[in-house]
Amino acid sequence: MNYKVAGERERRACEIHPMGCEDRGGRILSETVIGQETRLRGREEIAEGAMAYHFEKPAGFAFKAGQAVELLLPDPAGGANPIGHAFSIVSAPSEDEIVIATRMRDSAYKRALKAMPKGAGARLDGPFGSLTLHNHRSRAAVFIAGGIGITPFMSMIRQATRDHLAQEIVLLYSNRRPEDAAFLAELEAARHANPHFRLVATMTGMAKSARPWDGERRMIDAQFVRDALGVFADPVSYVAGPPAMVEAIRKSLAEAGIDDDDIRSEDFYGY
């Protein structure tokens, strides 16, 4: 996914690379190569038009579930400076690899990423970001994701399931079609593996789908939120997705009675 330069992650990239912070056709060129070396282990399609990339986890690399990294690649134009993008980490901190996921668009960076052969080198800078699970385990966590905005929540759900975390987690996951829903099968499996995790997926464009779907088809609005949350009286809500979707969901949460202080959000631009 791409992030607007004014966003938190690209501001972080600007802090890291103050001499090379410039948006050039959807990429950041960095004059200083920093970070830790990694290599591509492999890739997989996770939804129509979306890929996950698996990288080696550098020795000593530690992060919190929900955080992000900047992935720096050699400039495909042959320049001396690497090109980079910020990505949420999909893998859990307990895993032995770093996984990122993205919609594949026709940008210089995405073309370079797509062309990487297995074993190719890259660099990871970070981690950074504060979209992490709150510590008050008695309060439910409500994750609301649109499309590839699911990525930070995958890390948190994986880690919570692995740790048998006794904290209620509800994921409201909106896509147009099942074909577009990254990690849907894994999330369905997590419902059975984790008694504290509940998935409420909705598909809003089933007229264009070739797959069956017997679940929700509504947009996520205030009533949807009320219906999904049920007995949870004091949840902390997290929203990630396109800016328009995030803004609309924040309004819906407010209409559903969720205090703005209990809403944490992250905009994914241009993905």
Instruction: Convert 131-183 into a string of H (helix), E (strand) and C (coil).
Output: CCCCCCCCCCEEEEEEHHHHHHHHHHHHHHHHCCCCCCEEEEEEECCHHHCCC
* CATH numbers and ranges of domains, the chain: 8-128 (2.40.30.10), 141-267 (3.40.50.80)
Give the per-residue pLDDT at 166: 93
Give the per-residue pLDDT at 18: 33
Query: In terms of C-beta distances under 8 Å and separation of at least 24 residues, what long-range contacts does 8-17 make, across chains too?
Result: 8/129, 8/266, 9/68, 9/70, 9/86, 9/128, 9/129, 10/86, 12/70, 12/86, 12/126, 12/128, 12/129, 13/70, 13/84, 13/86, 16/70, 16/125, 17/84
Give the per-residue pLDDT at 269: 63
Q: Extract the tokens encoding 7.
A: 């966003």
Q: Is 201 helix (H, G, I), strand (E, B) or coil?
A: strand
CA quadruple 180, 242, 157, 257: dihedral, nearest 10: -120
Residue type, 228: A
| Alpha-carbon torsion (219, 220, 221, 226), positive or negative | positive
Give the per-residue pLDDT at 81: 86
**What are the pLDDT tens digits along the chain (271 aa)?**
333 323 444 444 444 333 333 333 344 444 444 679 999 999 999 999 999 999 999 999 999 999 999 999 998 888 888 999 999 999 999 999 999 999 998 888 999 999 999 999 999 999 999 899 999 999 999 999 999 999 999 999 999 999 999 999 999 999 999 999 999 999 999 999 999 999 999 999 999 999 999 999 999 999 999 898 877 878 999 998 888 888 999 999 998 888 899 999 888 764 5
Is-contact 36 78, C-beta < 8 A?
no
Q: Extract the tokens encoding 165.
A: 């975390």
Query: Phi/psi class of residue 257: alpha, beta or left (left: φ > 0; alpha: ψ in -120 to 50)?
Result: left
pTM: 0.85
Give the per-residue pLDDT at 77: 81
| Nearest alpha carbon to residue 238 among 124, 160, 127 | 160
Give the per-residue pLDDT at 78: 82
